[in-house]
Structure 1
Amino acid sequence: MPPEKTKAAKAASLTLRHLNKDSRGGLLTVESTIPVGHGYGSSTADVVATIRAVADAFEMGLRPSVISRLAVEAEQASDAIAFEDQAVLFAQREGLVIEHFGDALPPIRVIGFKANDGQLVDTLALPPARYSSEEIQTFSMLRGLAARSIRFQDPRLLGQAATLSAKISQRHLAKAQFATALGIAEQFDACGVQVAHSGSLIGIILDASAVGIADASRRTAHAATAAGFKDVVVQPIYSGGGAVEI
């Protein structure tokens, strides 16, 4: 329940098969406040929670790598949330970790929001991006930049990598007002900008350890709201606290 959670239902069946258990009966209820179709990872959250719940019903645990493989089988492409705070380079359509970066992301705050068109994105109907050779070479450089940012816990390096990646994504799944978001990030000396590569979300990355971070977060969020962005939220990442709606 509810019946439209078909990916979760498939994930439950796949997990039962993996555990070599039959499905004589049981009730799985999925409750979530995560909006769908914008890049929040709602379907992966449903699927990963389902896989864990089914395994827990048999008092069994599954490794993140197994959960990710089952999740991809259930929904074709999956986020890496099964690895929780481990920063990994993840093949979303294969369910495989390409590289473990050895630590969590550096402490940051993300001012997240949707562009004012608010268009839903059907992930399954979205064709995979066909990157140019130049873009692929850039991704190789970004991989090294991300690894260095995590090794040295440097939010600015992470922001640089995210911004360059977001600009490449803009050529394949354009976000309305992307240039406006870049302007706000520059105005408040943010670390960078990130986007959902299969959704409508944009985020401005701030250094959570910077002096005056609370005030900077508020001012950045208010600027995003004034620019017409929707559902503006301040989300601390590995820096304590929960999301704050603006």
Structure 2
Amino acid sequence: MTSAPRPQAAAGPGTEGTGRAARHHGEILQGVFLDQRRRPVHALVTLPMRGPGSAARFARRPGSSPDEVTVTPAGRTKARAAAVLAVRECAARRDAEPCGGELTLSGDLPVGLGMGSSTSDVIATVRAVADSWDVPLPPETIARIAVRAEGASDPLMHGSRALLFAQREGRVLEVLGSTLPPTVVVGCALAAGAPVDTLSLPALRHDEDLAAYGHLRRMLRRAVATADTALLGRVSTASARLRQRVLPHAEFPTLTEIAASTGAVGVQIAHSGNVAGILFDPRAPGLRHGVRRCTRALDREGITPTLTFTTFTSSPTSEEFPWTNTSRKPSAART
């Protein structure tokens, strides 16, 4: 006796969905760490950014093949792959036949700078597909789909918590805390904003790096627990220095000199891109003066300032420090 075919999703209302995803400003820490089973695993801690990232809209086409997914703008192959995977996941949870659809993406994240543009597209896509099927997907499932779609993923699906995240496996190695220490970031673009092919970068050597990254992990754990922005800066600078062996930046010595001369706590560089930041403690005296000196120094050195922003939703000081655009011209092509 043959089983009855699964019902197809009906057309009409409820076949469209929307999704959004945040962005980030590269990494505070990225390297090789031991997981719970003492295995070496590539993992990272991102620097979250408030504000819009990617937005997606997905319209199902009931009766079509699940591989028949079109995407606008054209060329967003990772997002399209994520849509196909998400459709199959949602259909299975609905016990229904999967189908294709039309995916539309919007947002202005620079591509290849290390701000999570592809992950933001992918997460927004998965959420839009899930919304079109009215199927809630947990962050762990979204992470699994994201890794399958793009090879490695940032932890944007988990919100702004401070996480050590295995980007190639899509799993959380450690929850460091609810948030990173409060920080003001003077963002800038290195190498004239040239994009970086993340997956072409060489791998770290486990035997040489485990001890160093284990020490930085412990330091960051303490920085998060005590809201110590200065210690966060030390971790980020050390991580960026180690990463120079994988993705060298000629501007790195200049960034550290500017940080030291303007009262910053350290520097931060996307470990798979050309976006960077100079980090300030918002509770330190003379903050605004230091930030102004920092942006002027970057300009003098030919390093384009981009955004000055905070990592916290409410100011830990008596004066607000708004998110401002300090760039006189775009630093990279927009998506």
TM-score (norm 1): 0.93
SS of 2:165's equivalent in the other structure is strand
| Map of 1:198 onto structure 2 | 272
Structure number having the greater helix percentage: 1
Residues 103-114 of structure 1 correspond to what in structure 2 (within 5 A)? 103-114=178-189
1:165 maps to 239
For the pair 1:234 / 2:292, whether they are aligned, the reply is no
Partners of 1:64 and 1:83 within 8 A in 2: yes
Deviation at 1:87, TM superposition (A): 0.6
Q: CA deviation at 1:135?
A: 2.5
Which residue of structure 2 lines up, in the alignment, with residue 119 of structure 1? 194
Structure 2 counterpart of 1:76, one-letter code: G
What is aligned with 1:223? Answer: 297
Q: What is the number of equivalent residue pairs in this alignment?
A: 245
SS in 1 for 2:193: coil
Q: What is the 5 A alignment of 1:36-55?
A: 36-55=111-130
Greater radius of gyration (CA): 2
How far, CA to CA, are the matches of 1:73 and 1:64 in structure 2? Answer: 14
TM-score, normalised with respect to structure 2:
0.69
Q: For the aligned residues, what is the CA RMSD?
A: 1.7
* Residue 143 (structure 2) pairs with residue 63 (structure 1): no
Alignment correspondent of 1:138: 212
Aligned position for 1:97: 172
* Amino acid aligned to 2:218: G
The aligned residue for residue 74 of structure 2 is 3
- Is residue 188–residue 276 contact of structure 2 (8 Å, CA) maintained in 1? yes
Identity of aligned residues (%): 41
Q: How far does residue 221 in structure 1 lie from its aligned partner after superposition?
A: 1.9
Unaligned runs of 5+ in 2: 1-71, 315-320, 327-335
Instruction: Tell me how far 1:183 sits from its aligned partner.
Output: 0.3
Structure 1: segments with no counterpart, 5+ residues: none
Q: State the AA in 2 paired with 1:204.
A: I
**1:73-92 residue CA offsets vs partner (Å, 9 max, x unmatched):** 11001111111111100111
Query: In structure 2, what is the equivalent of residue 244 of structure 1?
Result: 324
One-letter code aligned to 1:4: G
| Higher fraction of strand | 2
Shift of 1:18: 1.4
